[in-house]
Chain A
Amino acid sequence: GAGVSQSPSNKVTEKGKDVELRCDPISGHTALYWYRQSLGQGLEFLIYFQGNSAPDKSGLPSDRFSAERTGGSVSTLTIQRTQQEDSAVYLCASSLSGGAVSTDTQYFGPGTRLTVL
């Protein structure tokens, strides 16, 4: 079946602009995660959605970052007033049950490479 998809695959923007990154999880997966992969910081957790519960935003690096998940499916990560340090690959992952099952596997999308000039 279809895996996790993300769009766009590449995004180049100017410092100070807002960007939106999209994630389509695997159908039927209730848990959705965003991570960031950058040269300086490695792979970092950003935010987690599970069903209708309040999201876990503990990994968001600043209030310029926000995310929403509509209808329990598609998620959008928004970065406002982008800075050069936001340049990274943003990865989305989904799992069947998330926190409800301790052994769930997270399946990753191909990522969006964001470059802030």
Chain B
Amino acid sequence: GDSVTQMEGPVTLSEEAFLTINCTYTATGYPSLFWYVQYPGEGLQLLLKATKADDKGSNKGFEATYRKETTSFHLEKGSVQVSDSAVYFCALSDRQGAQKLVFGQGTRLTINP
């Protein structure tokens, strides 16, 4: 079945550092890809998404490009802030049927001032 693999956490960076969180997927079809974020004490929020190959999703300074050839959707940000500390989940949804989300295991990010 479909699956998503994220880089192991936790990740700790200093403010203004460059961030990459790796995400690769396995899917039989042509899924849509998502990054969700869970801030401390809050629910899951959509951060960005891409629905077809070579699409780039972006939001709040974060970017991720849908790479079909490498089945990847790596999350990047050029300069992180303390407020970016959260758990980040990569996910896919099949375009068929229910389009339920299949999530990676999550990566906890901590940014130190």
Contact = CB atoms under 8 A, between A and B. Distances in A.
Interface of A: 33, 35, 42-45, 48, 50, 56, 59, 91, 93, 98-99, 102-111
A107 B49 CA distance: 13
Contact of A102 (B45, B99, B101, B102): B99
A111 B100 contact: no
Contact of B43 (A103, A105, A110): A110
B interface bracket (residues with beta carbon within 8 Å of A)? 20 to 34
B105 to A, nearest CB: 5
A42 B103 contact: yes
B44 A103 contact: no
B43 A48 contact: no
B43 A109 contact: yes
B68 interface: no
Contact of B51 (A59, A98, A102, A111): A102
